[in-house]
Structure formats: C-alpha cells, structure tokens
Amino acid sequence: MKLRFKSTTIGAVNAPCRGKFEAAYQISHYQRSKSAMKGEKMKEKIKVTDYAKIITEMLPKGILLNTNGDKFNSMVIGWGNLGTLWGRPTFLVYVRQSRYTKSQLDKTGEFSISSPLEKTMPLISKVCGSMSGRDIDKVKEAGLTLEEPEIIRTPGVREYPLTLECKILYSQDQDLAKIPEDIRERMYPQDVPGTEPMANRDFHTMYVGEIVDAYLIR
C-alpha cells in the first residue's frame, strides 16, 4: 500500500482509494456517516497519533473494549498499547481467560475501542468494569448508545467518542513463568478465582488489533 501524505476527502465508506493507513492515520476531515445523513451523529476521521496522549492517559482510568459476537458487549480495560507492528498501526489489548469478552474476541476476530476525551463516567466504569456480559445486558445497564461501525461489525459507544476499529492480526497467551515474580504474585494470585473482576489466577491473552479506522463521534 502506497502511503498518502495529504488529507483525502472520501465520500463512500468503502471507496477504493481508502487504504488502511489512510483510514487509521492520515485522514483528517469530516465524513458524513450513514447515521449523519439521517441528521444524527457525525464521525470526524482522525490521525491516531494526534490522540496518542489522550488514549494513553485515559487508559489507566478505564476505557472500553467492545465486542460483538453473540451480542454487543463492552468491558473496561486499563492496559493496552498503541503502536506499530509489522508496519501496521496497532492497538494491543490484554484479556483474562474467564472474561465474556474473550469468548467474543475468539469468535469474531475484531473489536472496537472507545475512549473518553476527558473523563470516564462512573456508571459505565462500574457496570462495564465489574459485571460480566454473560449475566447482564451492559448496553441497557450502563446506558450505552451504540454508533454504527464503518469497516468492522462492532459498534462504537457515543458516550466515549474516540473510536478505533480493529481487526485481530495475532493473539498470544501469556506465560506466567516468564512474568517477574513480584508482578506475578500481585496480578495473578492463584487463590483468587477467575470470575473476580480484578486481579485473579487467570493469565491474559494479548490480542494485536490492526487499526483499520479511527474517528471521533460528534
């Protein structure tokens, strides 16, 4: 894929000139989404690197990892990495074995990331960070408003407008034996069942998501 260094205006979602790099990194303009045409929200395409500071500062406070397998579900994540792998823009997430989210990721091979620009919302943090999609409908309980995706099948969340659409390129289970002992003891206590929302006995699987689209929901 030849990189383009100028902003490009794109009318149709799947216009042939719209390469992955352009979509994720280089387009900076307003695009009317299907919903915007109906007089609803608009998506402002962004260069992800312009938002690296916000994403990395919001992460430890808890942003959303959204999946759409048997149903739409959002889980709070505090760990993640924005960067480049194999020459592609990527976002890495770390998901413990017993999360409902893990079964959805393995089924669909994709996810979206939703980050607030300034502040997390207490109800969203509570519902999406301590309850499982196995037991409840988080859209209803957390009052989430879903925004139609552009490239993948997983919506974004309007309440947290900074959105990354990601396709999973690679995944790898953590090897607990290789994790420094002090971290292993704190983060992976073997006497805590995997159903606990925070630190427990489960290791994480790392999922490398290629960022195929990035925008703000306005």
Closer by beta carbon to ligand FMN, 80 or else 149: 80
Closer by beta carbon to ligand FMN, 7 or else 190: 190
Tell me the one-letter amino acid at 75.
M
Q: How far is the CB of 197 from ligand FMN (least distance, A)?
A: 4
Q: How far is the CB of 193 from ligand FMN (least distance, A)?
A: 12
Closer by beta carbon to ligand FMN, 35 or else 125: 125
- Which long-range contacts (C-beta less than 8 Å, at least 24 apart) are formed by 117-126? 117/54, 117/58, 117/161, 117/162, 117/216, 120/58, 120/61, 120/62, 120/63, 120/160, 121/159, 121/160, 124/64, 124/74, 124/76, 124/159, 124/160, 125/61, 125/62, 125/76
Closer by beta carbon to ligand FMN, 19 or else 197: 197
Q: How far is the CB of 188 from ligand FMN (least distance, A)?
A: 12
Instruction: Give the residues lining the site for ligand FMN (CB under 6 A).
Output: 62, 73, 75-79, 94-96, 99-101, 125, 129-134, 197
3-state secondary structure 182-195: HHHHHHCCCCCCCC
Q: How far is the CB of 217 from ligand FMN (least distance, A)?
A: 22
Q: How far is the CB of 46 from ligand FMN (least distance, A)?
A: 23
Q: How far is the CB of 62 from ligand FMN (least distance, A)?
A: 4
* Residue 203 per-residue DSSP state: P
Closer by beta carbon to ligand FMN, 35 or else 132: 132
Q: Indicate the SS3 state at residue 81.
A: strand
Closer by beta carbon to ligand FMN, 27 or else 157: 157
Tell me the one-letter amino acid at 190.
Q
User: Checking phi first, is residue 39 left (phi over 0); if not, alpha (psi -120 to 50) or beta?
Assistant: left
Other Cβ atoms less than 10 A from the Cβ of 53: the count is 9
In sequence order, what E strands does 56-87 have? 63-68, 72-77, 80-85
Encoding tokens for residue 175? 């090897």
